[in-house]
Amino acid sequence: MKPETLFLKVVVILLGFPVLALCIFLVPELANLAAKLFPKVDYIKYPVSLIFYVSALPFYFALYQTFKLLRYIDKNKAFSELSVIALKKIKRCAITISILHVLVLPLFYLFAEKDDAPGVVFIGLVVPFASMVIAVFAAVLQKLLKKAIDIKSENDLTI
């Protein structure tokens, strides 16, 4: 195991803990807040909770794919089709997270309107925008890696 990737692997593992804590402590509070904002709709807390919990699944899957990508780097298989596939899965997970969190934005808007705090809407936009930045970054890396693999295979054929 290379020391460069060891640090990154530890960081990837540590990234999972805050999201787990948010799922345990913050999501029930947000669901209760949604129930207060929509008192006429009895079951609103369940879809809100479901969206947040479901968005945690692609997050952890993307962390797993990142961990696999770091293992490929350790094994000197960074320039392989496996790395391209891992980046593609990371990109799809980021897009999924962004879409799911955009579905919850009306809740942030209603809270901002009720509390007279318009900045809360921008807080709700942090996760979708960060996810889209990750998706774009993964897409760019995927294309660059694919191009590098194609050039490498072309050079292998000419020698």
**Which residues have C-beta within 8 Å of that of residue 127, sequence separation ≥ 6?**
97, 98, 101
Give the model's pLDDT for residue 159: 60
Cα dihedral value 16, 24, 114, 102, nearest 10: 40
Domain segments of the chain: what residues?
A: 3-158
pLDDT at residue 42 greater than cutoff 80? no
Cα atoms found within 13 Å of the Cα of residue 144, Cβ hemisphere only: 7
pLDDT digits (tens, 9 = 90+) for 88-147: 999 999 999 999 999 988 888 877 787 777 788 888 899 999 999 999 999 999 999 999
pTM, 2 dp: 0.89
Burial class (CB in 10 A: 0-12, 13-18, 19+), 15: middle
pLDDT digits (tens, 9 = 90+) for 53-92: 999 999 999 999 999 999 999 999 988 999 999 999 999 9
Crossing angle of helices 45-74 and 27-37, rounded to 10°: 150
pLDDT at residue 2 greater than cutoff 70? yes
- Report, as an integer, the average pLDDT of 13-35: 91
How many other C-beta atoms lie within 10 A of the C-beta of residue 44? 18
Cα separations (Å) of 70 from 2, 17, 29, 67, 143?
A: 10, 19, 35, 5, 18
Of residues 122, 65, 131, the one with CA closest to residue 96: 131
Give the model's pLDDT for residue 122: 87
Confidence band, pLDDT 50/70/90 cuts, at residue 35: confident
For residue 123 the two structure tokens come to 């807080």
Do residues 90 and 134 lie in contact, with contact meaning Cβ atoms separated by under 8 Å?
Answer: yes
- Report, as an integer, the average pLDDT of 2-20: 92
Give the model's pLDDT for residue 115: 74
Distance from C-alpha of 124 to C-alpha of 18, rounded to nearest angstrom: 17
Give the model's pLDDT for residue 98: 96
How many other C-beta atoms lie within 10 A of the C-beta of residue 153? 10
